[in-house]
Amino acid sequence: MYNAEAYAASSATSPLTSTKIKRRDPTERDVQIEILFCGICHSDLHQVRNEWSDVMPTIYPCVPGHEIVGRVTKVGSAVQKFKPGDLAAVGCMVDSDRTCPECRAGLEQFCPNLTLTYNFPDKHLGGVTYGGYSGSIVVDEHFVLRVPSNLSLAGTAPLLCAGITTYSPMRHWGVTNGKKVGVVGLGGLGHMAVKFAHALGAHVVVFTTSASKKDDALRLGADEVVLSRNSGEVQKHAGSFDFILDAVSADHDINAYIQLLRRDGNITLVGAPEKPLAVAAFALLFGRRSLSGSPIGGIAETQEMLDFCGAHNITADVEVIPIQKVNEAYDRLLKADVKYRFSIDMASLKS
Amino acid sequence: MYNAEAYAASSATSPLTSTKIKRRDPTERDVQIEILFCGICHSDLHQVRNEWSDVMPTIYPCVPGHEIVGRVTKVGSAVQKFKPGDLAAVGCMVDSDRTCPECRAGLEQFCPNLTLTYNFPDKHLGGVTYGGYSGSIVVDEHFVLRVPSNLSLAGTAPLLCAGITTYSPMRHWGVTNGKKVGVVGLGGLGHMAVKFAHALGAHVVVFTTSASKKDDALRLGADEVVLSRNSGEVQKHAGSFDFILDAVSADHDINAYIQLLRRDGNITLVGAPEKPLAVAAFALLFGRRSLSGSPIGGIAETQEMLDFCGAHNITADVEVIPIQKVNEAYDRLLKADVKYRFSIDMASLKS
């Protein structure tokens, strides 16, 4: 065991503050990583403030962060994919049982014995896992990703959650060249969805409540931008979309989007509104449409996504901050005052 | 043109009464059918009572009925599939444009220029189409189905709506040998779903609110029956279903069933509750599950379904009534007092 610098919350109402946490010495299959950047995901805020107490109550101290990139500092004797000095990344998962049908299918995100990167029982040290708001992390190599060398590291970090969460459902539901894809909500997830859909060759339409985001949406790769409050504009797209990615966590009228799908079209939720969505059955019946949800992606697909980003030079648009500004960043996150993701420069942890 | 006997409603609050309607003389592509049996679908009642005034307002007089079997009495000169004396069937559709992508894909049910069997503009005679509560009907041969010779005709009629509505989504979502399939609600649609899922080789679990239906569900082909009010029993099936068919039109908790799906499982609505369903996003996210709707099926698939029924000796369980009891049957339908479909013996029209 060794001590690592970190930022942790000590209760649901405490700010994140500097602390020291224990990390295990690398076992034979482990990779030790010096964390260079960690993205701030809205989940971090939910978890820190115990807003998911029903399903995933928070154990304190809580060190969040699951959008991690860094450099390998040490590897165990059995590690094959990494050597010290390599770039490496870690996302939302750090372990699973490797033997269940989900794991064997490369879909570790559905493993019943999954270990999430933070706030999950830590099999090695007891207590809970600690995430990426830290100077280093030790992770089994199966859950460590290779990072293309041509990408900015600050913008790569958010790919590990915001990236894979939007890439995976597009691949699953067959977004390819010539398909018409809608993206609802232009935030951390939505802006990645626009980049991926565009790079996959789709005709991309962004639905946003903010007229001010129009130019930005076009810059990110949208072919059209529709103000979602203008129902006439929205209605022009009725029955035309192959796939819509809904990245809105706030309560909203999902039926307005379901009826934009063509026959057999799918709308996938990646945001999780607190209140149940009111879904009109007729909108699904006419056109054999489907409504789904999708959580992150498996390790193999996460690597595929990173390689795709390398090939297409895709990263998240980030505002880089020092760790000392993390609490301020959380407040701004609640006002959607970031384009489009905060990425913490972990060098600041030493200052 | 010629006169045909029929039963029609003259307003939303009138009972169905005996009348005469005009039918066209068969054109070169038409098949004239003497109707022998017509099933009573809940849609007939909704339409007759103008309960869908928002989406499909009723034009009176209204002659409902879209579960039609009979015998061919005359064919047009270009008709190839039928000759006088053949058994024949007609379902919910009598015309479409034949040229749109949906029609070319054999999915006429999604054609934007579809003509439904009743209460839709009649291109030939003006006014609206009249359905199967009648002594005869004239339909383009493309929309006329062949009937296997080994099936009881009374029980075959409901296959044209209740049958295809449940068969089509099972085929679409891959119900095959060894899959675990749930059927929610054991009524006209549900009892057909049980028969199909069983014949397709699935392990079939019926969810019902009525303990009294348990033995019947097993007789119809269910492997297990769960009382849906017993949440402990329901919960035992969490995460285990490949596919669930939800045939309940009443307001109900859809999330209780969504969480019974395994990864990538689908629940398809074939009933259409009036009120929007409250759908919890988390239930869809965990497991990448999907919620769909499905309306009837295309003509080719309807023929496939009828042939499947012939091969597996499947018909609907019906209570045969004379047309004079149709209003009484509607009242009983509202109390779910029928096992499991009324089939009108059209010979009664002459008495």
Q: Please report the DSSP string for B164-182 in residue order.
A: HHHHHHHHHTT--TT-EEE
**What domains can be seen in chain A, in order of their start residue?**
2-161+297-350 (3.90.180.10), 163-293 (3.40.50.720)
**pLDDT value at residue A275:** 86
**pLDDT value at residue A272:** 75
| Averaged pLDDT, B300-324 | 98
* Residue B273 banded pLDDT, cuts 50, 70, 90: confident
Instruction: Name the residue facing B269 among A281, A293, A294 (closest C-beta).
Output: A281
| Averaged pLDDT, B314-329 | 98
Residue A293 to residue B281, Cβ atoms within 8 A: yes
d(CA A327, CA A10): 13
**pLDDT value at residue B251:** 85
Q: How many helices (H) and strands (E) does chain B have?
A: 11, 18
For A102, phi then psi, to 5°, come to -65, -45
Report ipTM for this prediction.
0.92
A263 vs B contacts (CB less than 8 Å):
102, 107, 110
Interface residue of B284, B296, B301 to substitute, partner A, most A CBs within 10 Å: B284
B102, closest residue in chain A (CA to CA) = A263
Q: Which residues of chain A have pLDDT under 70?
A: none
The answer to whether residue A263 neighbours chain B at the CB level (below 8 Å) is yes
> Taking Cα atoms as reference points, which of A192, A287, A193 lies closest to residue A241?
A287
* Residue B49 banded pLDDT, cuts 50, 70, 90: very high
* Residue B275 banded pLDDT, cuts 50, 70, 90: confident
Q: How far is CA B332 from CA B161, B185, B253, B307, B348, in A?
A: 19, 17, 25, 31, 20
Tokens 């592509």 locate to B29
- CB-facing half-sphere around the CA of A141: CA atoms within 13 A: 21
Element at B279 (helix H, strand E): strand B277-279
**pLDDT value at residue A306:** 98
Residue B110 to residue A287, Cβ atoms within 8 A: yes
- CB-facing half-sphere around the CA of B315: CA atoms within 13 A: 19
**pLDDT value at residue A28:** 98
A273 vs B contacts (CB less than 8 Å):
281
**pLDDT value at residue A99:** 97
Instruction: Name the residue facing A284 among B282, B285, B292 (closest C-beta).
Output: B292
Residue B290 to residue A291, Cβ atoms within 8 A: yes
Which tens digits make up the pLDDT trace of B177-214? 999 999 999 999 999 999 999 999 999 999 999 899 99
B295 vs A contacts (CB less than 8 Å):
285-286, 288
Taking a contact as any Cβ pair under 8 Å apart, which residues of chain A between 35 and 64 contact chain B?
55
Instruction: Name the residue facing A295 among B270, B286, B291 (closest C-beta).
Output: B286
